[in-house]
């Protein structure tokens, strides 16, 4: 379906009178993970919403346009898993088909639940699951939709350290072939997962040079640790309290 | 079943307390009849009570159902149309500012002596709590869930039916319970103001003839009906909000 190998974003974004992005340029490569690091309130989530054509609050003004001639479909994964509390796990995974009144593909849903290791709780309500499990349900739901682009808004930030690392690995292994745009404020997470990495500096997106190794990078390699230090230094300069 | 037993237990305690008070203070039965005398009165006037009860119950139930339909419809309108919200909301609050007793005679004048003035009274009393609770529930949804459903290709109708309305059910439940408790009031006030049948009429009739036992009998029957209606609504809403741990305190 997707013919070109990338699409790009251009434009500026204001919140009230404050400029958040000025002449933003961002190139998104298909089938790669693009990650943006930035401070809270820097407009990261709003940028994702603009990419997905979602409504943003009236306080924002934006003239960002997408340089693409194909109709892209989007999935959304956020810190809050956005599961519907009255639907059980399998119903949440198949929600998209139900909303579009399509035939529900239970077979595929079961295979995906197997992949994320939740087949034994398929009939449980989200409120009975742990945060990590809920995020895995959200992952299965994303896979079920199989959209062109997956937008991730700090998807792992609500999880404890051990769970986060496991879910990062699982998410990466299941979505590595996909086009992912993620925003985060975790430099290490960004470093381990990204094919292309940017940080927000002076209302622009600046690329960060990554180690030559491919994701999923290992935290214990020297290159990665060195790069982590480097990113922290960069961010120190761009962050304001 | 458990709810019913608890309810029965409270009811027995209430009756016993009433009896003890009446017995100890030796209040004459034309001021406070004992439960036994009221029971006798219920037995003696059974046909009369059944006839008038059914009329009142009918008015309450029709008013209750119509009030729920109108209230939910308005709540949905408020969510999907900003201008409706802006124009209709102040008017709805205004209807609540006018005492219901003041509206009752006008309603009787307009729609007549029959059951419809009582049904409209009931609707007027419960319309507000249902509209407001449902509207509050509808707007409380996480906007990202709405966005997620949009990205999944939901249209306005499926969004309402599958996402927004289920999400609003815990709040709507509070409105429905308030409505169940208030609905009988609407019908009875309507009957007081002008009617020739119904429990409200019977109360006035009995009071005018100093048949305090019959008046108490009417009140007891109305109270039992109200509590039953409330409990039925609670059972139904508990089923609808099973998924919401906050709706179920133990």
B224 found inside a domain: yes
Total tally of structural domains belonging to chain B? 1
Which chain B residues have a beta carbon less than 8 Å from that of A101? Answer: 158
B122 found inside a domain: yes
B residues 137-156 lying closer than 8 A (beta carbon) to A: 142, 144-145, 147-154
Q: Which pLDDT does position B221 carry in this prediction?
A: 94
Contacts of B129 (CB under 8 A, 6+ apart): B71, B175, B178, B179, B182
Q: How many CB pairs under 8 A join A and B?
A: 55
Nearest to A50, CA basis, from A36, A31, A39: A36
Nearest to A75 among B151, B166, B244 (CB): B151
Q: Which pLDDT does position A241 carry in this prediction?
A: 67
CATH of the domain at B126: 1.10.3720.10
B45 found inside a domain: yes
Q: Are B160 and B166 in contact (CB under 8 A)?
A: no
Which chain B residues have a beta carbon less than 8 Å from that of A80? Answer: 142, 144
For A28-57, the pLDDT digits (tens) are 999 999 999 988 778 888 999 999 999 888
Q: CA–CA separation, B203 vs A112, rounded Å?
A: 66
Complex ipTM value: 0.90
Q: Which helix (H) or strand (E) holds B56?
A: helix B46-80
Q: Which pLDDT does position B153 carry in this prediction?
A: 93
Average pLDDT (A138-159) is 93
Asked if A100 lies within 8 A of B153 by C-beta distance, the reply is yes
Q: CA–CA separation, B123 vs B75, rounded Å?
A: 15
Asked if B148 lies within 8 A of A82 by C-beta distance, the reply is yes
Quick check: B161 contacting A, CB < 8 Å?
A: no
For A181-240, the pLDDT digits (tens) are 999 988 999 999 999 999 988 888 889 988 888 888 888 888 888 899 989 988 888 777
Q: What residues in chain A have their Cβ under 8 A from chain B's Cβ atoms?
A: 49, 52, 54-55, 73-76, 78, 80, 82, 84-86, 95-96, 98-101, 125, 127, 145, 147
Q: Which pLDDT does position B4 carry in this prediction?
A: 77
* A152 DSSP β-pair partners: A77, A182
B26 found inside a domain: no
Which chain B residues have a beta carbon less than 8 Å from that of A86? Answer: 166, 169, 242-244
Q: Which residues of chain B have pLDDT under 70?
A: 250
Q: Which pLDDT does position A24 carry in this prediction?
A: 87
Asked if A127 lies within 8 A of B153 by C-beta distance, the reply is no
Asked if A99 lies within 8 A of B142 by C-beta distance, the reply is no
Domain range for residue B201?
Answer: 34-243
B25 found inside a domain: no
Q: CA–CA separation, A9 vs A95, rounded Å?
A: 30
For B138-156, the pLDDT digits (tens) are 999 999 999 999 999 999 9
B10 found inside a domain: no
B249 found inside a domain: no
Give domain limits for chain A.
6-73+147-238, 83-145
CATH number for the domain running over A6-73+147-238: 3.40.50.300
What are A92's two structure tokens?
């949440």
């Amino acid at each position: 379906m997707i013919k070109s190998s990338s699409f790009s974003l251009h434009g500026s974004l204001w919140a009230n009178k404050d400029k958040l992005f000025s002449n933003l340029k961002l190139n998104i490569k298909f089938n790669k993970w693009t990650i943006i690091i930035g401070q809270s309130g820097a407009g990261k989530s709003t940028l994702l919403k603009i990419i997905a054509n979602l409504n943003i609050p009236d306080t924002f003004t934006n003239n960002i346009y997408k340089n693409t001639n194909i109709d892209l479909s989007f999935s959304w994964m956020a810190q809050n898993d956005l599961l519907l509390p009255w639907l059980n796990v399998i119903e949440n995974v198949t929600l998209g088909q139900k909303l579009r009144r399509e035939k529900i593909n239970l077979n595929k849903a079961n295979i995906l639940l197997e992949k994320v290791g939740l087949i034994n709780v398929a009939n449980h309500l989200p409120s009975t699951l742990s945060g990590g499990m809920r995020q895995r349900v959200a992952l299965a739901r994303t896979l079920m939709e199989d959209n062109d682009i997956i937008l991730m808004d700090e998807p792992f930030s609500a999880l404890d350290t051990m769970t986060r690392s496991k879910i990062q690995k699982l998410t990466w292994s299941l979505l590595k072939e996909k086009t992912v745009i993620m925003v985060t404020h975790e430099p290490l997470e960004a470093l381990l997962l990204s094919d292309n990495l940017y940080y927000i500096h002076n209302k622009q997106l600046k690329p960060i040079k990554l180690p030559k190794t491919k994701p999923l990078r290992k935290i214990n390699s020297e290159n990665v640790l060195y790069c982590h230090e480097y990113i922290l230094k960069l961010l120190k300069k761009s962050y304001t309290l | 079943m458990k709810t019913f037993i608890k309810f029965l237990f409270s009811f027995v305690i209430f009756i016993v307390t009433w009896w003890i008070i009446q017995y100890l203070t030796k209040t004459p039965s034309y001021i406070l009849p004992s439960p036994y005398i009221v029971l006798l009165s219920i037995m003696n006037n059974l046909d009369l009570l059944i006839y008038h009860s059914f009329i009142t119950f009918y008015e309450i139930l029709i008013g209750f159902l119509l009030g729920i339909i109108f209230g939910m419809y308005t709540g949905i309108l408020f969510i999907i149309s900003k201008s409706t919200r802006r124009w209709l909301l102040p008017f709805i609050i205004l209807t609540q500012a006018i005492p219901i007793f003041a509206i009752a005679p006008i309603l009787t004048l307009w729609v007549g002596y029959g059951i419809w003035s009582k049904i409209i009274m009931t609707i007027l009393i419960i319309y507000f709590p249902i509209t407001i609770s449902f509207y509050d529930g509808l707007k409380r949804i996480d906007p990202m869930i709405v966005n997620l459903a949009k990205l999944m290709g939901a249209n306005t109708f499926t969004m309402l039916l599958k996402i927004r309305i289920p999400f609003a059910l815990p709040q709507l439940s509070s409105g429905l319970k308030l409505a169940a408790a208030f609905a009988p009031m609407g019908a009875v006030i309507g009957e007081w103001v002008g009617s020739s049948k119904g429990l409200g009429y019977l109360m006035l009739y009995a009071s005018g003839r100093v048949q305090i036992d019959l008046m108490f009998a009417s009140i007891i029957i109305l109270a039992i009906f109200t509590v039953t209606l409330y409990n039925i609504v609670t059972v139904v809403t508990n089923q609808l909000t099973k998924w919401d741990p906050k709706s179920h305190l133990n």
